[in-house]
Chain A
Amino acid sequence: MRTIKVSVVALLLAGLGACAVEGVGYDGDVGVGVGYVGDYYEPCCGGYGGWGRGYRVGPPRGGDRGPGRSAPSIPSHGRSGGGGHAGGGRGGGGGHR
């Protein structure tokens, strides 16, 4: 009888444990869910920091050219068409590597 009790308790704990895992996510480290691919929360949080005057994250604007091949820009023509790489694309400084 005692053996049966122990077995039942062990089975119950195992079953509950399995239920608890459900929904934790594909990767508990970053919180990716098991449902929609792309369902995640980022690790939190940290300050965003002060971006110094020279800290620039945007794309270069076409037109400036440094030595060698320079960084391209983003597309500049609208959906109405007109111009392939016009204004976007090549130019902007920086060195190719």
Chain B
Amino acid sequence: MTRNIYLALCIVVAALPTARAAGPRTAAAPIELPPLVQPASGETHPGKVIWADLVTPDLKQAEQFYGALFGWTFEPVGGDTNSAIALNAGQPVAGIVQRAMKAGQQRQPAWLTFIAVRDVAAAQRSALANGGKLLAGPKDYAQRGRQAVFADPDGAVFAVLASSSGDPPDVLAEPGEWIWSSLLVKNTDHETGFYRALFGYDVFELPPEESSDNSHHVILASDDYARAGIHSLPADSVHRHPHWLNFIRVDDAAAVAVKAIALGGKVLVEPREDRHGGQLAVIADPSGAPVGVMEWAGPEEAPDAVTDQPDLPGAQKGAP
């Protein structure tokens, strides 16, 4: 009798690895992400921030917050009831992924920044050769393209995406769309070299500002457009993990900050004027994920805007 019980136990244990492999992974239908651009653009802009995904423990809460704050609407993602695509004026603008956070886990919900590449494998080689770390993928999504997630040498997490429908065109973001991305790190020199090697950016050092705390600021550009900034973490946020911070264009940053609080969020950086002459603020959604909001006056509203002044004396054009 006892021998039979042990025999049965052995059979169960032997079957465990098979059950594990065939269980959750095959039970879940593949996620069907929509194309990044519809209709396909045929454009590629390596180094451009082209998408962002929020990973949050509460999808419904996120939809209520971002819907009320930016006017986004939401559609479920095919094959995954825990994901949604956020739409701004009917155009896909972001993904939201709900994932449970383990009890006691010291993690923070965050927006994951996707940067355009032509070749994910080449990006992977460059990242690994320059001190980065592959965290997930590469993985193909039928309509979206191929993507992978990395940590840069400072530990900031980002993703690359080779979009199968092309990249979004270079136009001024509408209110409710991503307009800017900043990378806040500890070692700006090392980080600048890493991203320059990976995306072929042109790099521009910004002059020190008055009253600065010895912070270091760099602009990364491609196609003759600013794509992102690299900034040393403020001296009093040294315990903050290096991270990407993305900004949504808004008409009134102060009003958005007030509304964010009313919706259960927090203000992490109070509205303040930035170098472009508009206000920006950093808020956290109810789950704690930071997101920036930034005003940006159109060409007709900006007093210092240049409408098109090619070939000014002393100007240099083109990639080095």
Contacts and interface: CB of A to CB of B under 8 A. Distances in A.
Interface of A: 1, 4-5, 7-8, 11-12, 14-15, 18-19, 22-23, 26-27, 30-79, 83-97
Contacts of B205: 94-95, 97
A76 B105 contact: no
A37 B315 contact: no
Contacts of A52: 211-213, 215, 234
A41 B110 contact: yes
A91 B25 CA distance: 51
B contact face: mostly helix, strand, loop, or mixed: mixed
B179 to A, nearest CB: 7
A contact face: mostly helix, strand, loop, or mixed: loop
Interface in B199-241: 202-213, 215, 217, 219, 221, 224-226, 229, 231, 233-241
Across the A-B interface, the 5 shortest Cβ-Cβ residue pairs = A49-B237, A54-B209, A41-B107, A54-B212, A46-B240
A3 B209 CA distance: 74
B307 A83 contact: yes
Interface string B233-271: 111111111010101000000000000000000001100
B298 interface: yes
A58 B234 contact: no
Contacts of A32: 135-136, 149
Given A19-B20, A95-B205, A39 B171 contact: no
B272 A30 contact: no
B63 to A, nearest CB: 17
A69 B204 CA distance: 9
B105 A63 contact: no
A30 B135 contact: yes
A83 B294 CA distance: 23
B122 interface: no
Interface in B133-149: 133, 135-139, 147-149
A89 to B, nearest CB: 5
Interface in B287-318: 288, 290, 292, 294, 296, 298-299, 302, 304-310, 312, 314-317
A42 B107 contact: yes
Contact of B272 (A51, A63, A89): A51
B276 A61 contact: yes
Given A33-B99, A87-B306, A42 B110 contact: yes
A71 B206 contact: yes
Interface in B36-50: none
A5 to B, nearest CB: 7
